[in-house]
Structure 1
Amino acid sequence: MAGQSQDIAFETRGRVGVDEYLDMAEGKTGALMGCACALGGVLAGAACERVEGLRDFGRCLGVAFQCVDDPAGR
């Protein structure tokens, strides 16, 4: 929710820094994809280390998706 809130707030700002944007993307789509990937691992009975790796993968995937999908990045 924090990432979505930041995203909405950014719409009224003239400039958003790269670090701010990446923080927003990690808290929005990164959090969603990270959770989805981690839950898949948990439901499959994966070890904690594997679940953490899946969560990290999903977080990075979500940030990458957000960067490509965001109209400001086009």
Structure 2
Amino acid sequence: MQKFIDQSISANTNYDPTRFTGGKVPMKQLLKDLLTTYKFGVKTLYYQNTRDGAEDVQEDILPAKGGDDDCESGACKI
């Protein structure tokens, strides 16, 4: 598939650890997928995504509360 194309074909992988024993994606599965993609002419695996159970929406991060007494404008605080 890739033999005569100048630009490389890339692919993304997506794993759900809950589907595997012990809640971990086995190295054997990762290597199998890597070798299979190269067999079919894929040159790069761009993203290797793992579902970690985090929500898509995250709460807003609140600024740290602290005294700004030593800077009038607050510009010297990080």
TM bucket, shorter chain: 0.3 to 0.5
Please state which structure has a larger fraction of its residues in helix.
1
Please state which structure has a larger fraction of its residues in strand.
2
Query: What's the TM-score once normalised by structure 2's chain length?
Result: 0.32
Query: What's the TM-score once normalised by structure 1's chain length?
Result: 0.33
Structure with higher Rg: it is 2
